[in-house]
Amino acid sequence: MKFPKTVLLILLAVFFGGLAAFAEEDPVGPKGIDEQINKIMEDPTKKITSVVFFAIKVNEDVSIPLVLVWLAVAAIFFTFYFRFVNLRFLGLAAKTIRGRYSSPNDPGEITHFQALTAALSGTVGLGNIAGVAIAIQLGGPGATFWMILMGLFGMTSKFVECTLGVRYREIDSEGKVLGGPMRYLSKGLQERGQGQIGMILAMFFAVMCIGGSFGGGNIFQINSATEQFISAFGGGEGSFLDQQRWLFGLIIAVIVGAVIIGGIRSIARVTAKLVPFMCGIYVLAVLVILILNLGKLPGAIGAIVTQAFNPTAVGGGLIGCMLLGIKRAAFSNEAGVGSAAIAHSAVKTSKPASEGLVALLEPFVDTVVVCTMTALAIIVTDTYQLSNVEGVAMTSAAFETAMPWFKMILSIAVILFAFSTMISWSYYGMQAWAFLFGKNRFMDLGYKLIFCVFIVVGSSMSLNNVVDFSDAMIFAMSIPNIVGLYILLPVVRRELDDYKAHCAEIDSQS
């Protein structure tokens, strides 16, 4: 089922015509547009967030949104269903990513390593820097324990959805892959005689994914990057660049456009170099902090464990880390959301479970390694006890205790993280767009143009309601996605058994 092109053109005309009308109506320019859009988005934002983030009140201080329960229960169930595949198959996942069990002639567009880095570029970001700080500030050091635990369980969710992403992907005549939850929800459920339900779920997912790509995957990222750049390099508040923020947005839009115009292959080539570089610099900086505070490290680890079961820490871990923190970067490891399955679907393989195993490394790197190291740096330096800093500023303060000049490095990291997230989310949104409107050059370029326009617009706007709205959309993606995962679990089990037999055969021949 496709949307008519005329309907799309009318919607685009209304959107951009509305922006022009706002600009003419309010002489103060972008700020006026900002206020107008926030005003328009206020009511729908309240409605959708009240549904998506409907919370159960545990006590006076803690309320747990049901969407987090939905994600957590699924991750735990999948882990037991596959008998801790997230831990038992780490070795096989490492061998797979090195290409031991794949052939260069396998169908697909990118290698296992490129698929992993493309997906990681959309997850490793501001959530690892700001989200962890918020979680610890809200719940204390014990919040880190729950963050690690949910990261481990989330590895299995990622395994399930990315296996299905490859299993039900489509490859067109040019060799380009069309994959993700849209495909396995529609095709997978149709195989089981539930085609209508599958199509409804797939379309709902696609609409939410497009909205999330423009908001959390674009506007929030460029806005944060612009703030960091102006603060560190642009002269700060009141400077020329602060008054002309769209110039920075325009530069980034051109760079992003140059990357995404080539599709997933171009994105993968960039992320394969960018992600290891970003993570390497960041992890190295954390190691410096930990080495300089080596005497405090045992106490920090002890605080993480002992305070994990403090009622405040439990609330801080689940809500502060997973909602207030990780959601700020479009849900840090995205396990259960389904977005990463779109990137992983493009891998060169004939065995779907091979990419599922590679994908489970993603939450491990993102949450168990990078987020934990950030948490340790904040705890050993005691910056989480500062009352006048939060988010990125708290993480920055932790690094500045040993490296006063680190603010510059952190600013560069934030900009790179934002850039990598934008190029990945542009691909996620593009795939959802193609599912709804059809795959052709006109539609492809149309989406990419709109995405780049949002970068310029987003650099000079806060658009709080728009970002809140898109965050709700990203979390809403998990609703149809996880329904499909439950139904298609037997398919994943068969694929895993098939891949294990395939690996055993290759090992026996060597």
> Is residue 332 classed as helix, strand or coil in its secondary structure?
coil
Q: Tell me the pLDDT tens digit for each residue of 170-189.
A: 887 777 888 899 999 999 99
Model pTM? 0.84
Give the C-alpha separation, 499 to 510, whole Å: 17
DSSP 177-225: EE-SHHHIIIIIHHHTT-HHHHHHHHHHHHHHHHHHHHIIIIIHHHHHH
**pLDDT tens digit sequence for 394-453:** 887 888 887 777 777 777 877 888 888 888 888 899 999 988 888 777 888 888 888 988
Q: Are 413 and 156 within 8 A, CB to CB?
A: no
Structural domains of the chain in order of their starting residue, each with its CATH number: 26-509 (1.20.1740.10)
Residue 201 has pLDDT above 90, yes or no: yes
User: In this model, does residue 52 exceed pLDDT 70?
Assistant: yes
Helix spans in 58-98 (H)? 66-81, 85-88, 90-97
pLDDT single digits (tens) 309-360: 765 555 544 454 444 434 443 456 678 899 889 988 988 889 999 999 999 9
Q: How far apart are CA 12 and CA 6, in angstroms?
A: 10
